[in-house]
Amino acid sequence: MTPDQYFPLLTTPAGTIRHAEAVPLTQLAAQFGTPTYVYSKAALVAAYQAYASALAGKRATIHYAMKTNSNLSLLRLFGELGAGFDIVSGGELQRVIAAGCKTDKVVFSGVGKTADEMRLALQHGIKCFNLESVSELDRLNAVAASMGKIAPISVRVNPDVDAKTHPYISTGLKENKFGVAFEDALPLYRKAAALPNIQVIGIDCHIGSQLTEISPYLDALDKVLDLVAALRAENIVLHHLDLGGGLGIRYQDETPPAASELISAILQRLEVRGFGDLELAFEPGRSLVGNAGILLTKVEYLKHNSAKNFAVVDAAMNDLMRPAMYEAFHDMVAVQPRNGGSSGSAGNPQSYDIVGPVCESGDWLGRNREFDLAEGDLIAILSAGAYGMTMASNYNTRGRAAEVLVDGEQVTLIRRRETVEDLLRAEQEI
């Protein structure tokens, strides 16, 4: 199978992607319409196994950060592979339950957990709450006491380390809302250890997303291990060290380290520092699903003026929010290039802004892309498996896209396209 027929990791150079595994994209567009998210099962499995293989034989757990893509079919797949889950809401916990996955492998992150969400998590016996404030600790202790339960906790420590990523997805600096300041963590642990309905079991650190270097991880790890040593000196013993996720993927020309490189460096640092006995936990998200998905879209109109050429496609910012929100780059390729060209370059290429039909100037998916296009052409927007559907909205009363999972020659519709009737159903007449 040639690279343009198979995109398990989407490392194919800029060019054509005509197939999702063994299925032509033209067939998927005809069967399911556009825009449609298309995921490769082989890519998902390969990405997960990269972590699992690097951690084989170690005391370690993998918790999929499901905010990246929470489709029930993907959750079931990762659950079958052995993953637990990193959640940030009660709704995400209910998705884990609906997918039939184990709740005792769930870690609950997030700065704003409500009392109801805490009760739900305690009822289902999750592995750990990753606490992010003193107030949250007090609330969790009270909720657990009211239920006659003991809440297992770790503290998410903010190490004030620059992750060298986009400021909107950086989480480990003092000015970020996440975690407990490093200097406040030890007093918080002391308080937690003394509370009757709290059990201290771990420590947590997550410094951001789309990291492409190992050094920020190791800088954060060193600070966290300093705190672990201080806790041990006070007989506060931790069972696990949760290093979060955030490993980057290739969108354009990034060269992030492989999961095995990152894990090897972390394991080596733990041994050097004398903490090889700690159980490890990781919370990968984007690196498991990002390169496993594309967004398939169709050109509706070609529009030209003296300053710009626009390709108006049927996908929009409500389908893929990342470009509008972060000015994020997603590579794009023609599904049916002309004159043998890989991405339209051999025909009559022009520079296009790829834009959607939503009534906002910010509704663009790519700028200054070279294509030879005609109305009705299909474009594959790459690396769209993470933060695509989970961030989608119904702006302009647009139904969210369909989602399909491809496994070799087999195609499964894992989320049908929303209709206007779906959107109106929840609204009551006055």
- 153-177, pLDDT tens digit by residue? 999 998 877 655 445 444 444 556 6
Say if residue 316 is in the same domain as residue 274. Answer: no
Residue 70 placed within a domain? no
Among 284, 309, 325, which residue terminates a domain? 284
Residue 60 placed within a domain? no
pLDDT reported for residue 162: 63
Distance CA 211, CA 256 (A): 7
For all residues of the chain together, what is the average pLDDT? Answer: 90
For 286-332, the pLDDT digits (tens) are 999 999 999 999 999 999 998 899 999 999 999 999 999 989 999 99
Say if residue 241 is in the same domain as residue 328. Answer: no
Q: Which token pair is 248?
A: 């980057």
Q: Identify the three-state secondary structure at position 165.
A: coil
Q: Tell me the binding residues.
A: 246, 283-286, 322, 326, 360, 387
The residue type of 130 is N
* 98, burial (CB in 10 Å: exposed 0-12, middle 13-18, buried 19+): exposed
For 176-197, the pLDDT digits (tens) are 666 899 899 999 999 999 999 9
What is the pLDDT tens value at each position of the chain, 430 positions in all? Answer: 333 434 543 434 445 678 899 999 999 999 999 999 999 999 999 999 999 999 999 999 999 999 999 999 999 999 999 999 999 999 999 999 999 999 999 999 999 999 999 999 999 999 999 999 999 999 999 999 999 999 999 999 988 776 554 454 444 445 566 689 989 999 999 999 999 999 999 999 998 888 999 998 999 999 999 999 999 999 999 999 999 999 999 998 889 999 999 999 999 999 999 999 999 999 999 999 999 999 999 999 999 998 899 999 999 999 999 999 989 999 999 998 775 444 444 568 899 999 999 999 999 999 999 999 999 999 999 999 999 999 999 999 999 999 999 999 999 999 999 999 999 998 976 5
Say if residue 203 is in the same domain as residue 316. Answer: no
Distance CA 401, CA 427 (A): 21
Catalytic annotation present for 205: no
Residue 89 placed within a domain? no
Say if residue 312 is in the same domain as residue 420. Answer: yes
Distance CA 428, CA 235 (A): 57
Q: Taking the CA of residue 140 as centre, how many other CA atoms within 13 Å lie in the half-sphere pointing to its CB? A: 32
pLDDT reported for residue 10: 41
pLDDT reported for residue 228: 96
Q: What is the CATH number of the domain that holds 173?
A: 3.20.20.10
For 4-17, the pLDDT digits (tens) are 434 543 434 445 67
Q: Tell me the binding residues for pyridoxal 5'-phosphate.
A: 246, 283-286, 387
Q: Tell me the binding residues for substrate.
A: 286, 322, 326, 360, 387
Say if residue 233 is in the same domain as residue 312. Answer: no
Q: Which token pair is 429?
A: 């007449």
The residue type of 164 is K
Number of structural domains found in the chain? 2
* 396, burial (CB in 10 Å: exposed 0-12, middle 13-18, buried 19+): middle
Residue reference for tokens 């190490």: 159
Q: Identify the three-state secondary structure at position 158.
A: strand
CA nearest to 130, candidates 172, 88, 188:
88
Residue 124 placed within a domain? yes
Say if residue 280 is in the same domain as residue 298. Answer: no
Q: What is the CATH number of the domain that holds 341?
A: 2.40.37.10
Select which of 101, 128, 205, 359 is catalytic: 359
Q: What contacts 371, CB < 8 A, 6 or more positions away?
A: 311, 332, 334, 343, 344, 349, 350, 352, 379
Question: Domain range spanning residue 34?
Answer: 3-40+290-425
Peptide bond into 337 cis (omega under 30): no
Which parts of 273-409 are beta strand (E)? 279-282, 293-304, 309-313, 332-334, 350-355, 364-371, 378-381, 402-407
Residue 305 placed within a domain? yes
Distance CA 178, CA 169 (A): 11
pLDDT reported for residue 164: 55
Say if residue 311 is in the same domain as residue 209. Answer: no
Say if residue 122 is in the same domain as residue 180. Answer: yes
